[in-house]
Amino acid sequence: MRAMIFAAGLGTRLKPLTDTMPKALVPVAGKPMLEHVIMKLKTAGFDDIIINIHHFGEQIIDFLHANNNFGVNIHISDEREMLLDTGGGIKHALELFPTDEPVLIHNVDILSDVDLSQFYDFHLHTRNDATLLVSQRKTSRYLIFNNEDRLCGWINKSSGETKPEGFVFDSSKHSEYAFSGIHIVSPSIFKYMVDKWNGKFPIIDFYLGTCHEARFGACIKPEIKLIDIGKPETLEKANEFINMI
C-alpha cells in the first residue's frame, strides 16, 4: 500500500525550533515527528511512502538515509525550489510516482490512535474519489457533509464565512465535522485537477471547489484520539499523548 507524508511545511508556529530544523524532525518523546508517522504507516502495512520536502529538506534526506528508510520504500518529492501547498504537493508527488491504487495522505504533525489499515479498507469499499477522516472534535472551522456523508461545504463558526460560494448551512440537512489531516485519494481525483488547479494550491480549497462534481466522502470517527503537534502548546502535551495511544 502507498502513502504520502506532508513534511514540507515551514513550521512557523514552532519557531524558534524550526529556525534550524524542519518541523518534521522536531522531537516528540525522543523521536522526530516524521519517525512516529513512518512507523505508524509501516505497522499498518504501508510499504511505499512518498515524503515531500522543502524547509531544510536536506536534513530530512540525511535522516532517512541514516536510518535506512526505516525498512520501507521511500520516495522524495522535492519542493525545495517552490513550496506547493497541500494540493499542489499531492499533484506534484503523484505525477512523479504514478499509481493505479489509492494513496493515504498523512500530515507529519498529526498523532492519532486511528487504525490506518481499517481506514484504507473503508475507502476501498466506497465509490469516493477521496475519503476524509473526520471527527466531532471541537474547533472553529468545520467541513460540512450531507446526509449521505458527502462533502458539500465548509464553515467558520467564528466569522460565519462559508465555502464554496453560495453554500448555505442547514442543520437539518448537514453535519459538521473536524478534519483530521488524514485522507485518501484515488487516481480518479486527477481528472478534476485541471484548469486552475496547477502549481500551488491547498487541497481543502480543491475539495470544496470541486465537491459538486467529484465524490468526496467522510469516514467518521467520533471517539478519535488525535493531537496536532504543530503548535507549541500541543507539542508540550505530546509526550503524555504518546502513552495514551
Structure confidence by residue, pLDDT tens digits, 146-177: 999 999 999 998 898 999 988 988 888 999 99
Structure confidence by residue, pLDDT tens digits, 89-128: 999 998 888 778 999 999 999 999 999 999 999 999 999 9
Structure confidence at residue 20 as a pLDDT band (50, 70, 90): very high
Q: Cα(first)–Cα(last) distance of the chain, in Å?
A: 23
Instruction: Compare 194 and 124 and report the one with higher pLDDT.
Output: 124
Please tell me the predicted confidence (pLDDT) of residue 17.
86
Domain limits for position 58 = 2-242
Look up cell 506547493; give the residue.
84
Mean pLDDT of 215-231: 89
CA 75 to chain centroid = 17
Structure confidence by residue, pLDDT tens digits, 71-95: 999 999 999 999 999 999 999 998 8
Instruction: Kindly list the distances between the CA atom of residue 69 and the CA atoms of 35, 39, 238, in Å, as whole numbers in the listed order.
Output: 10, 10, 24
- The angle subtended at Cα 96 by Cα 2 and Cα 228, nearest 5°, is 50
CATH number at 191 reads: 3.90.550.10
Supply the angle between the helices 85-96 and 203-210 in degrees, to the nearest 10.
90
Please tell me the predicted confidence (pLDDT) of residue 97.
80
Instruction: Kindly list the distances between the CA atom of residue 143 and the CA atoms of 73, 157, 166, 204, 244, in Å, as whole numbers in the listed order.
Output: 33, 11, 15, 9, 27
Contact 109, 23 (CB under 8 A): yes
pTM of the model: 0.94
Structure confidence at residue 139 as a pLDDT band (50, 70, 90): confident
Please tell me the predicted confidence (pLDDT) of residue 245.
73
**For the chain, what is the mean pLDDT?**
93
Q: Kind of pairing, strands 216-220 and 175-185?
A: unpaired
In which element (H, E) is residue 226 found?
strand 226-228
**Number of domains the chain is built from:** 1
Cell of 232: 507549541
pLDDT of 239 above 90: no
Mean pLDDT of 42-61: 97
Mean pLDDT of 39-43: 97
**Eight-class DSSP state of 77:** E
Question: By C-alpha distance, which of 116, 1, 95, 100 is closest to 52?
Answer: 95
Please tell me the predicted confidence (pLDDT) of residue 163.
93
